[in-house]
Amino acid sequence: MAQLTVNQCQVCGKILAPGVTECGKCHTKHSIQPATVNPLRFTAAEAAEYRAEFQEQVAACPKDSNAQFAMGLTYLGLKNYELADEYMMKAVQLTPSNPDVYYYAALSMFHHRSVMNLSKAEMNRIEEWLNTAVQIQPKRKFLILQMILRQGMSSMGINVDTDKLSPAELMKQARVTAQEEDELQEIEQHVLITDEKTQILLDKLKGNEEPSEGGSRLLEQAIGSYSNFCDMPRVTDYECETDNIIRLADEEVRQDFFRNLYYPPEPNIEPKPGYLKPLWRSIWKCLVAAFVWVILVAIVGTCDWVDGFPAHVETVQERMEQVNTKKMTKKEVAAARERAQAAYEKEAAADSTRTRLCYMYKDEAKKVHFRSRNISEEEILAQPDMEYLGMAKGWRGWMGIILILLPIVVWIIATIARFSSTAAERKKISDANDERIDLFNQAMDAYNTRPSVEEFKAFCSLFAGPNDTSIIDKGDFVKEALRQAKISEKDIQNGNGKVFFSCYFMDTDSNGNDSTNPGDTLRELVVRVCVAMRDSIVYMHGVWDTAYDQFPILDQERLLYSQIANFRNVASYSTLEVISHSNSVLAKIIYAFGDYPSLFQYQSLDPDDTLTYNATRTSDFDEFYNSLVKMHTAYVKS
């Protein structure tokens, strides 16, 4: 069992780095105590919580071997093998004397594959790490994993050094070594067991000297063997509930399954423009408008379109009273009167061309006052030094008003337009963001509520099998294939013939390239049906689109026994070659996909398993091959 000792706050449960005396979450001092956790048993929520804590420790101290190992175990429990390998490698480098680190690094490298699917380099690396772990401390689980590796290599024909213990010797040593809790379940969760001899050794370790090969077990192993075909998009994809399997009988549910298979992309939230930029722009424009206004006012003043003038124009008589005429000659008096007349006419003319805007005067305290209301003649006479600010009448007056007010009006209009445009753009972006968030939430709901990958594989398995189960009432690929070939299953049974059936997913995309994308892997199920009859053999194959109920039209090859000399089983390529009398290959029958068993398997060993038991149909190629040879031999003799 993967045990990890961590420092944990007893108040809030936060995982803390070594040496810390105060919790950074609840700020409680001296409440930190060691705690033991098993990252391989974390639920999805616990894994997310602990992973964040461990990640903080790794970021704070990359050389913290305990944190690196914890991250590796957490990702191993989630079956995210690539990230698990990355952190395990760092943990091995930081703690070369910890045997558990070597063991779990080796276990992670299997990636839930069988030994036959490992590369030579991977086998060597796993063997090296397990040897190191056993040398440090020979634990039972180390020996078991070594036994699985060497037995698999032996089954593949790879020679194991004579100085190393054989699988049987390793099992014997494991039997007398102390057992840890759930060690076999831990191994089987991450290592795919497809070798029969390895399974027998493991059954003996479990106490089952004669392991059962019931149909339900075969079916369970067949479904599980495809787990490493695709990266599970979410942790719960390993769960399986009957209700969701029944839901998948609806085509629309399966199509939605593929549409919502992956975690939806985060919505692209576009930032809204703020009001600061238009505000500064308005301030800048205001300064420009003020500058233009000053220039225009100066122009208006220079052109004498605005001027100050007295409130009352003195008459000629009033002007003459201010002149001392006693000492003047008549001629001088006449000249003074002419000057007064001229001044009066000039001021009167100026007064007539002005529009009075406001006035100002000084009171007895010589304080200046400005007024803009109408003024009576009495007030004018009471304040003889009162002056008006006037503007020229006519087109010059209107031009002056326009020039003075134009910058202000333009600035106000531009500011309103600028802020209105910003507000409209903010609303548009806000509506678009709300729509993106709504779509994302809908996609998340669909993603979280869709059937799991394991449930989809279970449905495909049941759909491919007989359609009289209590769960799925349609499908039955063998029945459909025989209907297309116009063959009666009763005739096959009466003639002691056999129907070989296999179906499997292909871990390739539409272009034939290797893929771990479940959208590629789970969408197409390869179907192969081979019928051994009294006088001929019929081979049918095709691909079923798992999103639809429609069974494909299978390609058919029918060969008479009179054309066949013998059969050649090329086991390394899972191919049966049909040889003619001229020793040429008439046809090649592919009966398996690598080491992976058929997704649904018929069997004839356990009659109590009504789901997989069938006397005519089989998924055991050796059983079919023996029947085929007997049928062909009987035909030749007859």
Place of tokens 């009576």: 376
207's torsion region: left (phi>0), alpha (psi -120 to 50) or beta?
left
Nearest alpha-carbon partner for 361 in 374, 380, 344, 378: 380
pLDDT over threshold 70, residue 573 = yes
| Sheet with 585-590, edge to edge strand ranges | 564-570, 575-580, 585-590
* Residue 221 tokens, joined: 């192993």
Residue extent(s) of CATH 1.25.40.10 domains in the chain: 4-208
Counting DSSP H helices and E strands in the chain, the numbers are: 22, 15
* pLDDT for the residue numbered 214: 43
pLDDT over threshold 50, residue 252 = yes
- The pLDDT tens digits for 425-443 are 999 999 999 999 999 999 9
pLDDT over threshold 60, residue 374 = no
Confidence of residue 212 (pLDDT cuts 50, 70, 90): very low
As a whole number, mean pLDDT of residues 365-381 equals 61
Residue 596: other Cβ atoms inside 10 A? 22
As a whole number, mean pLDDT of residues 177-183 equals 81
| Sheet with 306-310, edge to edge strand ranges | 306-310, 387-392, 354-362, 368-371
**Within a 13 Å sphere around the CA of 588, how many CA atoms are in the beta-carbon half?**
9
Name 36's bridge partners. Answer: 5
Sign of CA dihedral 248, 251, 253, 257: positive
CB contact set of 496 (below 8 Å; sequence gap of 6+) = 627, 630, 631
* pLDDT for the residue numbered 54: 75
Q: What share of the chain is helix, strand, coil (3-state, %, to 5)?
A: 50, 15, 35
pLDDT over threshold 80, residue 557 = yes
- The pLDDT tens digits for 150-166 are 888 877 777 767 678 88
pLDDT over threshold 80, residue 229 = no
- The pLDDT tens digits for 36-69 are 667 777 777 667 767 777 777 778 788 888 888 8
- Whether residue 552 contacts residue 538, with contact meaning beta carbons closer than 8 Å, is answered with no
Name 310's bridge partners. Answer: 387
CB contact set of 42 (below 8 Å; sequence gap of 6+) = 50, 74, 77, 78
Say what percent of the chain tops pLDDT 70. Answer: 76
pLDDT over threshold 90, residue 564 = yes
Inter-CA distances, 95 with 74, 88, 90, 91, Å: 18, 10, 9, 6
Q: Who has greater pLDDT, 514 or 415?
A: 415
Residue 45: other Cβ atoms inside 10 A? 9
Place of tokens 């007056």: 397
pLDDT over threshold 70, residue 384 = no
| Mean pLDDT of the residues in the chain | 80
* pLDDT for the residue numbered 7: 63
3-state secondary structure of 366: coil
Inter-CA distances, 536 with 106, 112, 530, 605, Å: 50, 41, 11, 26
- Whether residue 552 contacts residue 527, with contact meaning beta carbons closer than 8 Å, is answered with yes
- Whether residue 361 contacts residue 389, with contact meaning beta carbons closer than 8 Å, is answered with no
Q: Judge residue 432's burial from the number of C-beta atoms within 10 Å of its C-beta, 0-12 exposed, 13-18 middle, 19 or more buried.
A: middle
Per the confidence metrics, is the pTM higher than 0.95?
Answer: no
- Which amino acid type is present at position 377? E
- Whether residue 459 contacts residue 472, with contact meaning beta carbons closer than 8 Å, is answered with yes
- H or E element, residue 634: helix 621-637
* Residue 208 tokens, joined: 């089952």
Residue 139: other Cβ atoms inside 10 A? 20
* pLDDT for the residue numbered 562: 92
* pLDDT for the residue numbered 115: 86
3-state secondary structure of 584: coil
d(CA 539, CA 528): 8
Between 122-136, 218-232, 593-607, the lowest mean confidence (pLDDT) is in 218-232
Between 94-98, 384-388, 450-454, the lowest mean confidence (pLDDT) is in 384-388
- Whether residue 152 contacts residue 117, with contact meaning beta carbons closer than 8 Å, is answered with no
Confidence of residue 209 (pLDDT cuts 50, 70, 90): very low
Q: Judge residue 143's burial from the number of C-beta atoms within 10 Å of its C-beta, 0-12 exposed, 13-18 middle, 19 or more buried.
A: buried
DSSP string covering 52-90? HHHHHHHHH-TT-HHHHHHHHHHHHHTT-HHHHHHHHHH
Confidence of residue 213 (pLDDT cuts 50, 70, 90): very low
Place of tokens 């961590």: 6
* Residue 340 tokens, joined: 């007064």
* Residue 305 tokens, joined: 């379109």
In degrees rounded to 5, what are phi and psi of residue 365?
A: -85, 10
Cα 220 to its chain centre, rounded Å, is: 30
Nearest alpha-carbon partner for 221 in 250, 198, 246: 198
pLDDT over threshold 80, residue 300 = no
Say what percent of the chain tops pLDDT 90. Answer: 25
- Whether residue 575 contacts residue 588, with contact meaning beta carbons closer than 8 Å, is answered with yes
As a whole number, mean pLDDT of residues 13-33 equals 60
Q: Who has greater pLDDT, 513 or 170?
A: 170
Place of tokens 């798992």: 546
DSSP string covering 199-212? HHHHHHHHT-SS--
As a whole number, mean pLDDT of residues 22-26 equals 64
d(CA 190, CA 84): 12
Inter-CA distances, 413 with 294, 426, 630, Å: 19, 20, 99
* pLDDT for the residue numbered 200: 78
Give the DSSP letter of residue 570. Answer: E
d(CA 305, CA 388): 14
3-state secondary structure of 522: coil
- CATH class of segment(s) 4-208: mainly alpha
Confidence of residue 454 (pLDDT cuts 50, 70, 90): confident
Inter-CA distances, 173 with 42, 103, 144, 181, 526, Å: 31, 17, 9, 18, 43
As a whole number, mean pLDDT of residues 532-551 equals 92
As a whole number, mean pLDDT of residues 327-344 equals 82
Convert 280-348 into a string of H (helix), E (strand) and C (coil). Answer: HHHHHHHHHHHHHHHHHHHHHHHCCCEEEEECCCCCHHHHHHCCCCCCCCHHHHHHHHHHHHHHHHHHH
